[in-house]
Structure 1
Amino acid sequence: MPAAGQPARAAAADAPALGAHYDGSGESITFRVHSSAATRMLVELYDKAAGADEKASLPLERESGSDGTWTATVTVAELREKYGIEGTVYYGYRAWGPNWPYDKDWKKGSEAGFVSDVDGKGNRFNPNKLLLDPYALEVSHDPLREGMTDKGVYGSGPEHRDEDSGAQAPKGIVLPGTGSGDGGTSQAEGSGGGTGEKPRRALKDDIVYEVHLRGLTKNDPAVPAAERGTYKGAAAKAEELARLGVTAVEFLPMQESQNDANDADPDSSADDNYWGYVTDNFFAPDRRYAADDSPGGPTREFRAMVKAYHDAGIKVIADVVYNHTGEGGPWKEGDKNTYGIHSYRGLDNPTYYSLTDDRQGPMDNTGVGGNFNTYNPVAQSLVVDSLRYWKDTLGVDGFRHDLAPVLGNTCEHGCFKYSATDPKTALHRITEEMPARGARGGEGTDWIAEPWALGDGTYQIGNFPEGWAEWNGKYRDTLRADQNKPGEKVTPGQLATRFAGSSDLYGDDGRRPSSSVNFMVAHDGFTQRDLYSCNEKKNDQAWPYGPSDGGSDDNISWDQGGGAAAQRQAARNGFAFLMLSAGTPMMTGGDEVLRSTRCNNNPYNLDNEANWLGHDPDSDQRTFRTYTQRLLEFRKAHPALRPADFYTSKDTNGNGTGQLDWFTPAGSAPDDAYWNDASNHALAWRIDGTEFDDPADGLYVAYNGWSEASEFTLPSPGEGKEWHRVTDTGAASEGADQVAEPGSEKPVGGKGTKYELGGRSMAVLIAE
């Protein structure tokens, strides 16, 4: 294991960590960076983050026998006495290589030594560009920000290659106390306070709340103004989310990304990056989300936030983006020369990025500017090291991986081929070196994949290795279609498969129901309210609800005929689907109060009050929050809804354990004809609670997807028991007590009782 707070070593086992670190005594700093093809490198040191020239420019030496690791050491006394740097040290690298060899006449802003912007091996060295250390633990600022919005300074090509970026470029920050693999204490550890005790709960027992960290509190008057939209503000919401019933909060990306310029000019909002899926650095917590953004502040504040959630019994899951970076792709179609050079590209382009066969452009199998080269051992180590840092030092409990099939790519350049078993992939290393949490809880990491991207070979739902959970898009689409597109051919058998944990996707490779992260909505797409009140996206609205480009045209949405009551009823059904299905349910921030973005299904660029969560709900929203809270508590109270393994059923002869039995509305077991007939829109099931040590001997759920009422004949609740109603989502029963509190459930009857369930409704009964 690395020293506390240190990234794992990317070179030999006895080598110090990459990055910039003080020695154990705090008397010197060592810089170590990888570049396999560089022929000369400098580390430039600054006493200011921006707007000033470097105070020192030190040559790095290539370590003997290394695969391309460059290093330099400077004492604190030298920094102070020779270079006039006291306090925080900011730094960046300059690199020369085959396409731009060193020339003694070179000076900043010149083209001395230049040969080409890119050579035949894909190298894109340019010494006029100051490069951010991929292993920097904090970053001074974003490339673009209010008052500095000229991206040309970072560009290559004939128009920009001689522009020097040193004064403006983001710098790494050397955090005090970060020993270089010698047992030194990290700044994070040394700043007081840990990250609390990590919950050991199984993923099957979690209720995940996906939310943007800034959006959670930016509009919240209960949070002090200076803390809104920050880690500190988010920490203040931990107890409130625990009371709602949330057990895991999944924050949209928190690694450093380009957002300092957000909303400086609403007229140019299309270039803004609110969601954060364009990562500049994989180690640094985003400083924009820190109330204290001074050096060391974001790290301390992030850890304190994690502790607040752990103290409330809530896991912290970080949404991470390792499939591409903020350097992006070519600036002009057909132009191989003009690219942004911020960090990875200028250090070692063919190591960090997958390139085309001729190495002249990016291999873009995701549609977001070029794939990160996860099959290369050095780039792969960067991924693994940063994940370990966020897990061990920053304290997070799990990770949701954006466009995760890129982690399983098995070739570096000119192709894409996914494998769940190749031992040389990043996917394999991640799970081998940081084992997944067990199906019944304990130590380990919760791994969640978004199992698709945009290009050929990237749709891999159901194909991730054991230990991984996946966003289940088939769950979402099947249940949306049954609700919102009655004419589409969704059969009772398909519904049953999704309600019971999607064994067709996860049961054939040793995985379990918890591998299915069930969701009806996510950040990407309509909100829960808009799913049932919008027939199509409306992304071209005026500020602040738009304009936003992109967004799917196939939302499987419906406005329920335009009536507000019918829309709320549909939302109740959709939320009940999640809480009553085997698997791991995920809701999105604001679902509990029917948040709307007015039919904008891709508000990635709207960093404003229209996209932040609201905190002044009206009466209908408060009613829905109560409905949400009580359903969450009901799920948590009944382990029969959270099976570790797939349910078993009696066979056709009535034999077997019969943990779960399916019924038609008439009370009979569905036959093959019923299961496969898409004209049947009603289904019921009974779970034997005694099989799960459940407080209720039996749970019965009835779903009526028809527009008209349907009569359900109830099965046996067990000897000496009667069925009692927990909830009925029908319009007639809407109200604050729509989900009965424990002990207040109304009796319905026993075996053979007829229960009339209204159109497009669900009912939940328990045996008492």
Structure 2
Amino acid sequence: MPADGPSAQAAPGAAAAQDPALGAHFDAAGEQLTFRVHSSAATRMLVALYDKAAGAEEKGSLLLKRESGSDGTWTASVSAGELREKYGIDGTVYYGYRAWGPNWPYDEGWTKGSEAGFVSDVDEDGNRFNPNKLLLDPYAREVSHDPLRKGMTDKGLYASGPAHRTEDSGAQAPKGVVLPATDSGDDGGTGEKPSRPFKDDIVYEVHLRGLTKNDPDVPADERGTYKGAAAKAEELAQLGVTAVEFLPLQESQNDANDADPESSTDDNYWGYVTDNFFAPDRRYAADDSPGGPTREFRAMVRAYHDAGLKVIADVVYNHTGEGGPWKEDDKNTYSVHSYRGLDNPTYYSLSEDRQKPVDNTGVGGNFNTYNPVAQNLVVDSLAYWKDTLGVDGFRHDLAPVLGNTCEHGCFKYSATDPKTALHRITEEMPARGPDGGEGTDWIAEPWALGDGTYQIGNFPAGWSEWNGKYRDTLRTDQNKLGVEEVTPKQLATRFAGSSDLYGDDGRRPFNSVNFMVAHDGFTQRDLYACNEKKNDQAWPYGPSEGGSDDNLSWDQGGAAGAQRQAARNGFAFLMLSAGTPMMTGGDETLRSTRCNNNPYNLDNAANWLGHEPDAEQRTFRTYTERLLAFRTAHPALRPADFYSAKDGNGNGMGQLDWFTPSGAAPDEAYWNDASRHALAWRIDGTEFDDPADGLYVAYNGSADAEDFTLPSPGEGRKWYRVTDTGAASEGADQVAEPGAEPEAGGEGTAYELGGRSAAVLIAK
């Protein structure tokens, strides 16, 4: 059981009775406050107590003692009476740690801002203790503020190295916020969690702040907040999505955003630089008073649960906001906010000589997920977000780091090693089963940047994955014909759930999270309107550093109608493929960032969702809403297992049968002919208790129209058109409402499908 497990159902901030959790917790009566923190190599530690978040010195401090027989747990306690009478703290307690160790042993002559006792910024074991840096508790349940913020942008205050090691950060540093034992679980709870199987979900990936920051229907002081997001639950349910995947919500560096548009590349909008793994980001709370973010987050989750929606949290356990070495001095100068100053070799994977981080993420150094203490932090925080904050699932950024089997000097991924964080997560918090019920929806981004990190298809049972091969195969077919090759067999494999990736290890089609676009890259509109990235624009659409140069995008010759048609096709792919579809916030109205494919830093109206769509955007929203409803209404599109097909000789009728435009079954030559760009398939709805006896999908990827000979719709039935994505059909009724589908003919009828189009028919 995770260390935080016993208190999972207690009031946020309450300590476990039988096994006190790490962090700072009042007892149930609110009379005794206990601090517990890990540091394996520290030789002295104290906790500084504050009555203000910033701008003041501590009111006093407590010397921590190393617990007897522990692996490096330090503890101290103080009564509520002492806090009032001795330290003058009669309200919220803010706190942080100072630590000494082998590279900086304690010297009685040390005072804040002195170098007394200093030996080196780093020793041979990788320790980077510096008592001049106030350290944020990794287990803090809320955080007072970010290291940098408007009015305080001096990074050096938190740095080691000869130029900064004596700068004392205490007055300005982020501090843990002690939540009172009475700061209650009696807040209405987080509602009843949906038990829906993941195969039946449609995921909507969106930035919480961006969801409502530009929304005139939300009160101004609630825009961009948990409370504002809660107000959108019913609207998103009406759109037809069933799970909202929020970009990172854990405390990260964003208080300084918008301070200076001229230096916006330093801003952090997306949130993939976590400072603390427990605390809901205070910047997203309308009520940012102590305890407010926790209560408001729980209320938001309840609103989504009441609307039948799951809440999925995007989490980042592969690196932290402390970052990597400073360019000017990569041996001595590092930011020291929290983990690094408490126990650098425990929390980070280091080089063989322990002097630098191993960096497989490209963003500052790997979190040491193979270390049991660092692993505990990952598992404990996930349990807290799941049990106390009510989250239903997690998408893990750069997830192969969770499967690392090497602490220092190397990186080696394993899906089976029982000592990895990956294994512990799924053992201690089992995945939701294929039939739904209790459990957690686990989603991996199955790649990072370094050697050995591309692990698509290699995650263990219980895990779903962002399917980058689905994205790239279908983008290539749409946008790179004549430049790169895609065969009908490759298309079919992706449409049918990617059995080549997930069928060989007992996983199911729903473990393929299908997507055409995500936050990271072009929007759905820009994928079909931009030939290349344009990230060097002036504010507010840039400048943004980085971004892929390999986008598999095309502007369709510059024709707006062709761009909309391509977007309709891309979205139809998602809704008609086996797997779990994920769309990105704003896809429903063709949101654009004007070809910026890496707007990680743009915390402004250009990057927030729009809420005043024009006529064309409203038409596309109707198209989106009706396709979502169609997928939801037809279980044949959401198979629990991979479809069965005809036998190897093309005989029999399977759950899914493939056709060439002529109506014949593709032979081996057709399957592997990259010059063939047309494919159709029929799903037997009776195999899935589907309202339609049969579904037929035809896709024509070539530029010219193609006649498709329709297969049998079943005895006494005909085919009826649900949608045709071609330009001739564009309009509010491009997806027919149930019962209003026009007849398309019976077996043997020729259906003309225009170039770069898809059609969906139902049998009835």
CA distance in 2, matches of 1:657, 1:511: 24
Amino acid at match of 1:216: L
Alignment of 1:63-212 (within 5 A): 63-177=67-181, 187-190=183-186, 192-212=187-207
Asked whether 1:579 is paired with 2:583, we answer: no
CA deviation profile, 1:268-293 (whole Å, cap 9, x unmatched): 10100000000000000000000000
Aligned to 2:415: 420
CA deviation profile, 1:223-254 (whole Å, cap 9, x unmatched): 00000000000000000000000100000000
Aligned to 1:285: 280
Alignment of 1:590-605 (within 5 A): 590-605=586-601
CA distance in 1, matches of 2:650, 2:209: 54
Aligned to 1:467: 462
Asked whether 1:689 is paired with 2:663, we answer: no
Aligned to 1:57: 61
* Aligned with residue 375 of structure 1, among 350, 370, 373: 370
CA distance in 2, matches of 1:81, 1:630: 64
Question: Offset at 1:15?
Answer: 3.2
Asked whether 1:337 is paired with 2:332, we answer: yes
Calculate the TM-score normalised by the size of structure 2: 0.98
Aligned to 1:271: 266
Q: 3-state DSSP class of the match of 2:236?
A: helix
Question: Offset at 1:377?
Answer: 0.1
Alignment of 1:696-711 (within 5 A): 696-711=692-707
CA deviation profile, 1:16-37 (whole Å, cap 9, x unmatched): 1000000111101000000000
CA distance in 2, matches of 1:462, 1:26: 49
Asked whether 1:520 is paired with 2:524, we answer: no
Q: Is the contact between residue 39 and residue 98 of structure 1 (CA under 8 Å) also seen in structure 2? A: yes
Question: Offset at 1:333?
Answer: 5.3
* Aligned with residue 392 of structure 1, among 387, 390, 399: 387
Question: Offset at 1:6?
Answer: 6.4
Q: Is the contact between residue 289 and residue 298 of structure 1 (CA under 8 Å) also seen in structure 2? A: yes
Question: Offset at 1:8?
Answer: 13
Aligned to 1:505: 501
Q: 3-state DSSP class of the match of 1:189?
A: coil
Moved more, 151-160 or 327-336: 327-336
Aligned to 1:181: none
Q: Is the contact between residue 713 and residue 763 of structure 2 (CA under 8 Å) also seen in structure 1? A: yes
CA distance in 1, matches of 2:88, 2:334: 35
Amino acid at match of 2:658: W
Q: Is the contact between residue 8 and residue 384 of structure 2 (CA under 8 Å) also seen in structure 1? A: no
Amino acid at match of 2:708: F
Q: Is the contact between residue 199 and residue 315 of structure 1 (CA under 8 Å) also seen in structure 2? A: yes
Question: Offset at 1:334?
Answer: 5.4
CA distance in 2, matches of 1:304, 1:326: 27
- C-alpha RMSD of matched pairs (Å): 1.4
Amino acid at match of 1:267: E
Alignment of 1:308-707 (within 5 A): 308-332=303-327, 335-487=330-482, 488-653=484-649, 655=651, 658-707=654-703
Number of aligned residue pairs: 758
CA distance in 2, matches of 1:760, 1:83: 72
CA deviation profile, 1:198-225 (whole Å, cap 9, x unmatched): 0000111000000000000000000000
Aligned to 2:302: 307
CA distance in 2, matches of 1:592, 1:4: 37
CA distance in 2, matches of 1:651, 1:478: 26
CA deviation profile, 1:77-98 (whole Å, cap 9, x unmatched): 0010111001100000000000
Amino acid at match of 1:729: T
Q: 3-state DSSP class of the match of 1:509?
A: coil
Aligned to 1:19: 23
CA distance in 1, matches of 2:547, 2:688: 42
CA deviation profile, 1:680-710 (whole Å, cap 9, x unmatched): 0000000000000000000000000010100
Question: Offset at 1:650?
Answer: 1.4
Question: Offset at 1:3?
Answer: 2.0
CA distance in 1, matches of 2:705, 2:53: 66
Q: 3-state DSSP class of the match of 1:620?
A: helix
Q: Given the superposition, is the C-alpha separation of residues 189 and 539 from structure 1 closer, same or farther in structure 2, using an over 3 Å criterion?
A: same
Q: 3-state DSSP class of the match of 1:711?
A: strand
Aligned to 2:7: 3
Q: Is the contact between residue 7 and residue 385 of structure 1 (CA under 8 Å) also seen in structure 2? A: no
Question: Offset at 1:56?
Answer: 1.0
Q: Given the superposition, is the C-alpha separation of residues 744 and 17 from structure 1 closer, same or farther in structure 2, using an over 3 Å criterion?
A: same
* Aligned with residue 760 of structure 2, among 744, 747, 764: 764
Q: Is the contact between residue 527 and residue 591 of structure 1 (CA under 8 Å) also seen in structure 2? A: yes
Amino acid at match of 2:596: N
Question: Offset at 1:727?
Answer: 0.2
Q: Given the superposition, is the C-alpha separation of residues 743 and 659 from structure 1 closer, same or farther in structure 2, using an over 3 Å criterion?
A: same
CA distance in 2, matches of 1:106, 1:152: 21
Fraction of identical pairs, as percent: 86
Q: Is the contact between residue 5 and residue 188 of structure 1 (CA under 8 Å) also seen in structure 2? A: no
| Structure 1 runs of 4+ with >4 Å offset | 5-9, 11-14, 653-657
CA distance in 1, matches of 2:423, 2:653: 36
Aligned to 2:215: 220
Q: 3-state DSSP class of the match of 2:116?
A: coil
Q: Given the superposition, is the C-alpha separation of residues 48 and 13 from structure 1 closer, same or farther in structure 2, using an over 3 Å criterion?
A: closer
Q: Is the contact between residue 2 and residue 8 of structure 1 (CA under 8 Å) also seen in structure 2? A: no
Q: 3-state DSSP class of the match of 2:504?
A: coil
Unaligned stretches of 5+ in structure 2? none
Q: Is the contact between residue 12 and residue 184 of structure 2 (CA under 8 Å) also seen in structure 1? A: no
Q: Is the contact between residue 258 and residue 603 of structure 2 (CA under 8 Å) also seen in structure 1? A: yes
Amino acid at match of 2:65: E
Amino acid at match of 2:685: G
Q: Is the contact between residue 7 and residue 389 of structure 1 (CA under 8 Å) also seen in structure 2? A: no
Amino acid at match of 1:79: L
Amino acid at match of 1:290: A
Q: Given the superposition, is the C-alpha separation of residues 405 and 188 from structure 1 closer, same or farther in structure 2, using an over 3 Å criterion?
A: farther
CA distance in 1, matches of 2:184, 2:162: 43
Q: Is the contact between residue 4 and residue 189 of structure 1 (CA under 8 Å) also seen in structure 2? A: no
CA deviation profile, 1:318-374 (whole Å, cap 9, x unmatched): 000000000000012553100000000000000000000000000111111000000
CA distance in 2, matches of 1:49, 1:13: 29
Unaligned stretches of 5+ in structure 1? 178-184
Q: Is the contact between residue 10 and residue 185 of structure 2 (CA under 8 Å) also seen in structure 1? A: no
Alignment of 1:245-260 (within 5 A): 245-260=240-255
CA distance in 1, matches of 2:480, 2:113: 60
* Aligned with residue 33 of structure 1, among 23, 32, 37: 37
Q: 3-state DSSP class of the match of 1:332?
A: coil
